[in-house]
Amino acid sequence: MTGTDGHFATLSPEERERTLNLAAQHLRDGKSVILPTESVYGVFVHANDHGAELLASLTKPATFVHTPQFTLHLADLDWIFPLFEIESAVTRRLIHKLAPSPVRMVLRQPEHVLLQIREKLGVSAGVVDLRDMVAFRVPDHPIARSVIRQSGHPTLARGVGVSIWGGLGGADLANTTVFEDADAPEVIINEGPALYGKSSSTINLWPDGRFRIGKVAAVDEAFIMDKLKTRVVFVCTGNTCRSPMAEGLARAWERRRTPNGLTIEVSSAGVAAGEGSPASDQTLQALREREIDLSTHQSRLLTPEMVDRADIILTMTPSHAQAVMQIAPDSAHKVFPIDPLNPIADPIGQPIEVYREVADQLETLIDARFKEFIDE
């Protein structure tokens, strides 16, 4: 067990593993534990009626007025969708972008889904729901997520107003807890200062895709809105023909679609590009014929930072995909040839008719790929 005087990072790997296992076992046994999150430290309990009663006895009521008093804390993104009924691609995309993060999501659900959630968790009406709302988040902290995951069940949690154990942080001091109960947490994992030192921010979600940003605390509105972007990078070799052509066509696709609150940010780069070269004359002409202006394009070399920032990387050939993964080995989950069966041949040096054919290919592929990846 790690207490307020210890520091998790100073433990041996075996001791850390035992501490995580012990915390998970305490949750399974109906006890409470204190875990670090990226926002503040929190008291965690099993998400059932007993856990809710225990959490209420140990902590002061949350300051939420118009949303549920208890927030479900889940281990992973794939814990979310089996619980809820979400038909809107926009709402699904928002959840994908905000889990994990220091953002509490308040989702509206029909009564029959709320009933299913209560039955699955073993909670009474009004514990995790209020009217048609249920609140949840996936904390962006490896310790909290590991313990929840090992416990095998959703948890409830409330912040204790502490951003560094033994000292008050920037969280609402009204939530600071003084433990005097016999059921006080026996496991306290001290990880040092919390990243944000403030309670979670809140976003309200509707199944039809509407959303509204509520309380802003750990992160501001700009952070949340930035998460709503999908960043797509097109990659070829020199970044003067195929990938800038795809970038221009993708921007045109984005302008044509019906606004829905989400934005798509497109760019391009080359795995062997020089810096600052314009798009080829034939590329510019093929795009002008589609009323797309790429005259300000300047080639750039793909960097690990570009790969890290991107959500999706679409390459012109499988060999380009391999080159991207050599630049950033952890990127395999988001790198795809735009056409895995038919590589887009380099039109460099070919007549304008070839560039038009490449533009036709890319236009069709972008429409298909964006509908697949962006989940329109």
Structure tokens, 357: 């054919």
Whole-angstrom CA distances from 259 to 139, 210, 256, 367, 370 are: 30, 12, 9, 16, 15
Q: What is the DSSP letter of 346?
A: -
Distance CA 66, CA 164 (A): 29
Beta strands in the chain (DSSP E): 33-35, 42-46, 71-73, 103-108, 129-130, 133-137, 155-159, 187-188, 201-205, 211-213, 229-236, 263-270, 312-315, 335-337
- Please say if 241 is a catalytic residue: no
Contact 216, 185 (CB under 8 A): no
Active-site residue, selected from the candidate residues 92, 93, 118, 236: 236
Distance CA 121, CA 128 (A): 10
Tokens 């308040």 belong to 106
| Helical residues (DSSP H) of 152-220, grouped into ranges | none
Active-site residue, selected from the candidate residues 346, 356, 367, 375: 346
Active-site residue, selected from the candidate residues 93, 242, 339, 369: 242
Beta strand pairing status for 133-137 and 103-108?
antiparallel
Work out the burial of residue 333: count CB atoms within 10 Å of its CB; fewer than 13 is exposed, 13-18 middle, 19 or more buried: exposed
First to last CA, the chain: 48
Torsion of CA 319, 324, 325, 329, to 10 degrees: 160
User: Per residue in 81-111, is it b (16+ CB within 10 Å) or e — as a string?
Assistant: eebbebebebbbbbbebbbbbbbbbbbbbee
- Please say if 242 is a catalytic residue: yes
Q: Please list the active-site residues.
A: 236, 242, 346
